[in-house]
Structure 1
């Protein structure tokens, strides 16, 4: 993550890869040129970067374990799927392979797993945005609750929703969370927020790419888990 002394958790972990944009020229029926932008994200690099954010969940205590376990499980499933799929170097190649072979509706398909992986990234974004916008009086449980309600809650069944909401009350105090994210050093709260902003600058485009890809392939869904 650049030179210099590591100050916070978010300056210690690797950023998500850039989603490279390239133009593709196409012609419609009247031979006019259409410029489209194709975004490519390395599947392996995205999953490796996602793995590095996992300790962030641990800092908030055991109450968020269900979210972490789901997210980590989806990372591992996608790694196995990509390793078993010929020439799957990008998410598009992996998902298109399943669509071509009519595998997308299987419960453990990469198509379904990618959808949940994207939702997990949206939860992390909501957490970090809430953290950046917060003042010193914000309670940890309120931060996580708001992030959960803005991202994952609508997709979870009633039992999971209740368990997350109740367990959030066991979250550590914000001062403890900040101290752990700053490796015990004091006076780094603004530096922490700056590092989170930098992290988001790379995380958001990846998440948008996955969201748009799922829509483009007809795989996005608002269905809840059973």
Structure 2
């Protein structure tokens, strides 16, 4: 279970995803339930808002998709069965389908993973380079010119690392520990999601 005694955003993110990764490591046939997955993803939502204008669009889109998965968890237990439900209904690629929303959430998780990786290894107080690299690697390939331009403009007013830590109620040393936990745990979760898509010949680039 996730550790208690702290309501810090990064702590919640790190240990929620560590719990998910532990579930997957317990068995080769382990499955992720939609409810704890969507709950873990919801802890990331404030982070997009804290990053300012550059990720405002991402925050709105991500939150909507996570909310959809949370609603789906009331009637669908696992991510595996969630995708199967859409496959059977021939609605996988339909706008608003649970599977399509899962893929969008997966990209958000990956963006945060790369952002944290870059923040851990980048010296200085600026977040522009880490955030730019994270966006370019994970989200930019799926966005049109207008969104990419808006994000680029937003990078010039992105908070500094110090400002972000203040919003997160954390300090750099503690934050980097939590970030590394998320980086490691989220890799396992993202790989699991990718396998669900690839095993059904759905791909992940749409």
Provide TM-score, normalisation by structure 2: 0.87
Aligned to 2:16: 15
Matches of residues 38-117 of structure 1 in structure 2 within 5 Å?
38-83=29-74, 85=75, 88-117=76-105
Out of 133, 137, 143, the residue aligned to residue 121 of structure 2 is 133
> CA RMSD, aligned part only?
2.2
Instruction: Determine which structure has more spread, i.e. the larger CA radius of gyration.
Output: 1
CA 1:46–1:163 in structure 2 vs 1: closer, same or farther (change >3 Å)?
same
CA 1:22–1:15 in structure 2 vs 1: closer, same or farther (change >3 Å)?
closer
Out of 195, 203, 206, the residue aligned to residue 220 of structure 1 is 203
Q: Do structure 1's residue 152 and structure 2's residue 145 form an aligned pair? A: no
- Deviation readout 1:175-199 (Å, 9 max, x if unpaired): 211233344xxxx322211121123
- Deviation readout 1:16-69 (Å, 9 max, x if unpaired): 22333566xxxxxxxxxxxxx324111110100111121112222233111111
Residues 9 and 43 in structure 2, CA contact (< 8 A), matched pair in contact too: no
Residues 52 and 154 in structure 2, CA contact (< 8 A), matched pair in contact too: no
Residues 74 and 113 in structure 1, CA contact (< 8 A), matched pair in contact too: yes
Distance 2:106 2:93 in 1: 17
How many pairs were matched up?
201
Distance 2:204 2:191 in 1: 15
Q: Which range moved further: 105-114 or 119-128?
A: 105-114
Residues 8 and 168 in structure 2, CA contact (< 8 A), matched pair in contact too: yes
Distance 1:218 1:199 in 2: 28
Structure 1 or 2: larger helix share? 2
The offset of 1:89, in angstroms, is 0.8
- Deviation readout 1:142-199 (Å, 9 max, x if unpaired): 221110001111111111111111111111222211233344xxxx322211121123
Distance 1:62 1:77 in 2: 24
Residues 39 and 209 in structure 1, CA contact (< 8 A), matched pair in contact too: no
Structure 1 or 2: larger strand share? 1
Provide TM-score, normalisation by structure 1: 0.80
Report the 3-state secondary structure (helix = DSSP H, G, I; strand = E; otherwise coil) of the residue aligned with 2:29: strand
Residues 7 and 182 in structure 1, CA contact (< 8 A), matched pair in contact too: no
Structure 2 portions without partners, runs of 5+: none
